[in-house]
Amino acid sequence: MTVRTPALADIPHLETERLILRAPEAADFDAFADFALSDRAHYVGGGPEHNTGYAWRVLATLAGHWHLRGFGIYVAQEKTTGQPIGSMGPWFPGNWPEPELSWTIWTEAAEGQGYAFEAVTTLRHHAYTVLGWITAVSYIDPGNARSRALAQRLGCQVDEGAAQPDFDDPVEVWRHPGPEDLK
Amino acid sequence: MRGYRESDIDAFAEFYASDRSHFVGGPMTRELTCRAVMAYAGHWHLRGYGRWMIEDKATGDTLGNVGLWYPDGWPEPEIGWTLFNGAEGRGVATETALASRAYAYEVLGWSTSISLIALDNAPSQRLAQRMGAWLDGTFVHERYGEMQVWRHPNAKMEASP
């Protein structure tokens, strides 16, 4: 039985120098599950203690956000290999205090190449110019040194007064430069 | 029977905060409820089918959700239904579950279907029976525990009453 995937939202196809940014799709499941069930996913609630059902629900959650909000997380695919290497984008589930720019690199091999910087720079521009955002934050686990370094490189600063999402553990709220700051 | 909207989260949050939601994995916090509604919508994107919101034609009230559900870890695709508090006892689940089953057979070409029902969920077991389904073993889910597998009449049986 083959079922055509319905177009639930008009999900843009964006490109950076080295990446294609596109909608999450069913074929991403294996690569995503490898990440979500690895130690690398500890900062985003995953890890080896979970099972593939968990990974599938999270991937469905990423896709469903598009349907509810009209924007959401993209999967970044390497242009040269066609491999999905991470997921990032504007994220604003119903229990978030304000819209977030989020990022995750799925594999060790794709780390350290500036992929997240490249993708998030493009997606931040998209959020400000197409979605009309006037500000953006990123929620980062204080122990996640790599993501904190990227936030700094993106020009973000910790916003001590900003509201926290209702996680069990507190996160750092990194405030991005606004649209005017980036002109 | 329609797709999901941001505003549906409030109705789910009220239901998932109530005791009745224990048949379907609840009670849940608002955070988990938001994730659950996103997953309901995202299932359509990943599988090409899913569960619909049920809306009362006359009043526009949301009454629950119903439809076709096959996340990773399920033994096979199922027909599932959940009615919010106060929507029970009016035949809403029967009407929409039958429409879901017809959609599975006629539009998607499914040859069989099941419903997974909690052992202590007598109202849903009665509904499965009314739909002509029969008990076909049990299934143990890693998170939800043991559930009854109700097997529905297949497409051919349904066409020849």
Per-residue model confidence as pLDDT tens for chain A (183 residues)? 444 445 555 788 899 999 999 999 999 999 999 999 999 898 888 898 999 999 999 999 999 999 999 999 999 999 999 999 999 999 999 889 999 999 999 999 999 999 999 999 999 999 999 999 999 999 999 999 999 999 999 999 999 999 998 877 889 999 999 999 998
What whole-number distance in Å separates Cα of residue A69 and Cα of residue A87?
Answer: 17
Nearest by CB to B71, which of A1, A8, A56? A56
> According to DSSP H, which parts of chain A are helical?
29-36, 52-69, 115-129, 145-153
Quote the pLDDT of residue A9: 59
Quote the pLDDT of residue A4: 47
Shortest distance, CA B109 to any CA of chain A (angstroms): 7
Check pLDDT > 90 for residue B115. Answer: yes
Chain B positions touching A8 (Cβ under 8 A) are 3, 41, 44-45
Nearest by CB to B41, which of A3, A55, A67? A67
A168 touches B: beta carbon within 8 Å: no
Whether B99 contacts B106, CB under 8 Å: no
Quote the pLDDT of residue B155: 81
Closest Cα in chain B to A97: B31
**Closest by Cα among B53, B1, B23 to B124:** B23
Read off the pLDDT band of B158 (50, 70, 90).
low
Check pLDDT > 80 for residue B161. Answer: no
Quote the pLDDT of residue B157: 77
Whether A141 contacts A127, CB under 8 Å: no
Tell me the pTM: 0.91
Quote the pLDDT of residue A94: 87
Quote the pLDDT of residue A8: 58
Structure tokens of A33?
A: 């599950």
Check pLDDT > 50 for residue B9. Answer: yes
Quote the pLDDT of residue A3: 44
Quote the pLDDT of residue B159: 56
How far, in whole angstroms, is CA B2 from its chain's centroid? 14
C-alpha pair distances (Å), A120 with each of A15, A73, A80, A94: 12, 11, 19, 22
Average pLDDT on B121-142 reads 95
The residue type of A125 is H
**Closest by Cα among A78, A106, A75 to A17:** A78
Rounded to the nearest 10 degrees, how much is the dihedral formed by the CA atoms of A162, A66, B3, B116?
-90
Strand order in the sheet with B134-141: B51-55, B62-69, B78-83, B114-118, B145-151, B134-141
Structure tokens of A177?
A: 């430069």
**What are the backbone angles phi and psi of residue B51, rounded to the nearest 5°?**
-105, 140
How far, in whole angstroms, is CA A85 from its chain's centroid? 11
Chain B positions touching A65 (Cβ under 8 A) are 38, 41-42
Q: What is the ipTM of this complex?
A: 0.88
